[in-house]
Amino acid sequence: MIIMLILASQSNTRKALLEQAGLVFSVTPAAIDERALETAAIEAGGDGRDVALLLAQKKAAAVAAANPGAIVIGADQTLSLGAELLHKPVDRAAAAQQLDYLRGKTHRLHAAVALVRDDILLWSDIQTAELTMREFSEAERDDVLNREGDAILDSVGGYRLEGPSIRLFETVSGDYFSILGLPLLALLAALSTVAPETLT
């Protein structure tokens, strides 16, 4: 029996990570109102971890509902600076402002992933990494932005650890794949248990 595997995300990084791991899958971004769900979760007393896990599960569930029998991977990542949640910058100016805001501070990235088939949540996981940016100069910031180009607009932090943005960091603690937006090792372990066919 062939089981279809679907990634419910438009993230190029997540797609690349799954491809590099040798998985065969299709991509169907989930159409959900992320900000509305985030607001409801925060109002209910949730934090960045709760929001990331909720969004990962909701994305997977939305795509699974339209693809009976398929196993759907939902993923999300949030950035917490204290109690504040930051989002993807809309343009280069916003990215520069966000990097300035994070400069010299420690923030946390929460990466969540969920597996859903039909209306059943098969598995979910969330991992948190802690990152500290150094006191970089405006010139260093602008150099990184020039080197990164529009790629940083796809990142919740306005940076890419796998790119020139690494120059802006002082310390990084946590799972590398989770920092990129997908707890890949945990996901592969889960797939080997709930759907080993997807790994062959």
pLDDT of residue 69: 94
| CATH no. of 5-199 | 3.90.950.10
Mind telling me the catalytic residues?
Answer: 76
According to the model, what pLDDT value does residue 1 have? Answer: 53
Reduce the secondary structure of 6-64 to three states and give it as a string: EECCCCHHHHHHHHHCCCCCEECCCCCCHHHHHHHHHHCCCCHHHHHHHHHHHHHHHHH
What are the tens digits of pLDDT across the range 108-125? 999 999 999 999 999 999
pLDDT of residue 30: 94
Grouped pLDDT means (10 residues each) for the chain, 200 residues: 85 94 95 91 92 96 96 97 93 96 97 97 97 97 96 91 95 96 97 89
The pTM of this model reads 0.93
CA distance 61 to 91: 30
Q: What pLDDT, on a 0 to 100 scale, did the predictor assign at position 113?
A: 98
